[in-house]
Amino acid sequence: MKFTFNHFNFNVLDLEKSMNFYKEALGLTEVRKKEAQDGSFILVYMGDGTTDFSLELTWMKGRTEPYDLGEQEFHLAMAVDNYDEAFKKHQEMGCIEFVNESMGIYFITDPDGYWVEIVRRK
């Protein structure tokens, strides 16, 4: 038996805003969408166009309170081939949350406060 990664989920308050953020910040695009028949939720899967892994953005009807992200010890990590260019872009977007120069990584935050780690592609 072998397991492989499929997707990771972030619950979001403003689906359109989050989709636009992930498109602008990381180049992710919608690969599929599922809407509840009763309108209670929408799932949008964002992909990188290279791997089969996707980020599931879940919007829940009627939700207005920000999600409790705990101590934010969990995060999604993305590798980039041009780290310096990505850093500059994220600086211009104003979404850099934390930089660890000694490790050569930094974190950006999305509109809901989720952290995404940016690492150099090896």
Active site residue 92: no
Amino acid identity at 29: T
Q: Which of 30, 56, 97, 117 is catalytic?
A: 117
Catalytic residues: 117
